Amino acid sequence: MGATGMLGTAMIQTEEDTAREIPGGSAPRYSRRLSDKILIAFHHACDQADFEVAEQLLHILEMMLTRRPLTPDGTRRRNMESLIAAHERLWHLRHPNSHDM
C-alpha cells in the first residue's frame, strides 16, 4: 500500500473521538488524545509545506508512541501504523521526484 492509502487510514483513525468522564458527575466530555492532536498538527504542517515543523511534531509523536504505555489499550499497532504513514508522507513530500518501487 502506498503512502496515500496509509495516510487515508491514519486520518480516519485519528478522527475518532473518545468520551471522558468529568469529575462531579456532569456529562462526558469528548476530546481527542494528545497524540491524535499532534498527528493532526503534523498533517496540517505538511499541508502548509512547513516541513521543519512537521519533522519536529513527528519526533514528538514518535517519542510519545514508543515510550512504555501506561495502560495496555490495544491501540499500539494502530498508533504505530499511523506513525509509519506519517514518516512516509514526510519523506514523499521532501522527495517529490522519487518513484515508488
Domain spans, the chain: 3-15+33-94
Residue 23, pLDDT score: 59
Distance of CA 78 to the CA centre of its chain: 10
Residue 48, pLDDT score: 97
3 state SS of 13? helix
Find the radius of gyration of the CA atoms of the chain: 15
Give me the average pLDDT of each 10-residue run along the chain (101 residues). Answer: 43 44 60 90 97 97 82 75 94 85 51
> What is the value of pTM for the model shown?
0.63
Cα–Cα distance between 87 and 83 in angstroms, integer?
6
